[in-house]
Amino acid sequence: MQPGALRRERDVREAYAAHSGELYGFALRSLGDSGLAEEAVQETFVRAWRAGDRFDPQLGSLRTWLFAILRNVVIDLGRARATRPRVAEGGIEPSVDPLEETLLSWQVEEAMRRIGEDHRRVLVETHYRGRPYSEVAAELGVPEGTVKSRVYYGLRALRVVLEEMGYEG
């Protein structure tokens, strides 16, 4: 894509086809309301189109740019409702911006959806449900070492997907 290449309606249609699902997912996670989330996505693409001349792919991806716009839209809509955007439970450190934490939380959940079923399953059973590896291995009919391997490859896959989504931790 060339600098300022989000000027035509066709560019916006292509950008919508590529990124609307993710943008909507994050908007819904932040605002907790499907109507508001759709408004946020609509406003994001309209703002992106209005400022299309300023988009420079040399400085960052279109996806990153759209997410930066969406973040501002979510803040505006959150202020308009006079409520704070929803915040994920738990957290990495107390000083983290709630919206950044929501974004990270949504990214991890989205990445979890994208890794293989075998990998996701062992992570859910062992880590989230706290079940012993031996029990999970027996249930799946595989050696315990295979469960450990799947946990290893699952975390690796998760890291790759997160990096694709722009996570730089």
Partner 1 sequence: MKADRNDRCREWRHLLGAYALGDLGDEERVGLEAHLEGCPSCRAEAEALASVARLLPLADPDRFSQPAPRPAADLGKRIAATIGGEERGRRQRRRWRFGLACGGVATALAAAALAIFVLPGSGGGEPEQRVEFASLPAGIHIGATLQPHAYGTEIHMYVKGVRSGTLCHVYLRGPHGERVPAGTFTYRWGDDSTAVLSSALDLSRTRAIGVRAGNRTFVAPVHAAGATADDNSTQEDVT
For partner 1 (CB under 8 A), the number of binding residues is 61
Binding flag, residue 141, partner 1 (CB under 8 A): no
Under the binding rule (CB under 8 A), the answer on residue 136 touching partner 1 is no
Q: Helices (H), strands (E): how many in the chain?
A: 7, 0
Pick the binder of partner 1 from 4, 5, 16, 140 (CB under 8 A).
16
Report if residue 91 touches partner 1, rule: CB under 8 A. Answer: yes
Alpha-carbon Rg for the chain, nearest whole angstrom, is 19
CB atoms within 10 A of CB 90: 7
Tokens of 16: 């919508």
Check residue 116 for interaction with partner 1 (CB under 8 A): no
Displacement of CA 160 from its chain's centroid (Å): 13
Task: Give the C-alpha separation, 132 to 71, whole Å.
Answer: 40
Among 99, 112, 137, 165, binds partner 1 (CB under 8 A): 112
The set of residues, in sequence order, having a beta carbon less than 8 Å from that of 39 and lying 6+ positions away, is: 77
Per CB under 8 A, the list member of 57, 63, 98, 133 interacting with partner 1 is 133
Q: Is 100 exposed, middle or buried (0-12, 13-18, 19+ CB in 10 A)?
A: exposed
Return the number of the residue (59 or 166) whose C-beta is nearest partner 1.
166
Length of the chain equals: 169
Query: Is 25 a residue that touches partner 1 (CB under 8 A)?
Result: yes
Using CB under 8 A as the criterion, which residues of the chain lie in contact with partner 1 when the complex forms?
9, 12-13, 16-17, 20-21, 24-25, 28, 34-35, 37-39, 41-43, 45-46, 49-50, 76-77, 79-80, 88-92, 101, 104-105, 108-110, 112-113, 120, 123-124, 126-129, 133, 145, 148-156, 158-159, 162, 169
